[in-house]
Structure 1
């Protein structure tokens, strides 16, 4: 059985051709679909909403933070794909005692490209992954980077407001767009107060994990009269699988609207 090193540096024994794959990561579930692993993927989480056909048809094994091991045991996977940030360490550790678990750790575009290459290798879809990587790299060459370095805040949660630090995938996407994360001196996902947002030229409210909407713009705008506040598609900023194909075009459209 081939031995691979995952993105945490762990050795993982995986069958040469895994036939019963469980994905615990929504963006990687979409990646597995793009790599044409429909027959091999047997379990996904309740947040794996893309593709819609898989969301309707595949067995759901709980949420990313609340895995139901009894369902996974019924599926008897020969490969589980997890993520350091999106899944709970203790739950993943329990699964590693029974199954091959490949753990990803994606904090920037380079990590994402490495992950796609590795997933293609361990699932026997090297050619598909290589083609996808070529397309993503080409797409990012079309990114029209803004030169005005707008001071930008990005909110992912409300009550309390939470933002993103320098060691996150979203920060890397903002930087590639030429936007300056005003909370780039922090790490991970700090809680903040409204007054800290007053230094923003631009404030982006994400569609996930908290579903910000127009009413939240209306709520914040009187407190931030000099800040432009916009709703953005959180999947484009935080999904690091095959959705990266469409991210640069989305960013170009966004940047065009704020220039």
Structure 2
């Protein structure tokens, strides 16, 4: 049986290996930014190719231990299609398989239980337009009510409906979810989602009257973001620098 430390680079396609490397980097960056919850959240990525296979974390490895080779390849029924001594988190499978099955564009799905994200998800008003960071999130945000730990297959259509065609989903009383065409895009979307939640919690803790951003500014934010990013995705702009940071602080993810 393949050890998590044995490289699969020569056993998979170059496209799959690239996805594995970027997904492993996203896991380690999640730990580096302090958004991990021991082993209890998940990031998944679709494997390029005609099969509906995707990669997810080995249940039991900490996020800062995950490598490209240790990621588990599974199908939409939760069956492992690559050897691994580890299992997968059944709650992770429920959430991620629902989104991957419904959204062809959601090649990567990222879910966190960050302290700030859960704090805002517990607020009746959800995310408020209090910061520049919040505006891009609010432009593509849905909400999904808490139904317990995500083990119930019957919850899938409701979760998919609440996400719709959006990038961001606030799981009430639970945490945050983002989707993207790549691990880079999903990660950078989560960065702004988490930053907006952190700013909101800190602003509320100050005790003063909050000053929300006016609706007309929110309505024009998509055009402004496109202008700032020069028509490319924020993930594509930021990801090379994030990988350089990871190479300095926690190398080995590409093994």
TM-score, normalised to structure 1's length? 0.28
Rg: which structure is higher? 1
TM-score, normalised to structure 2's length? 0.28
Higher relative contact order (CA 8 A, sep 6+): 2
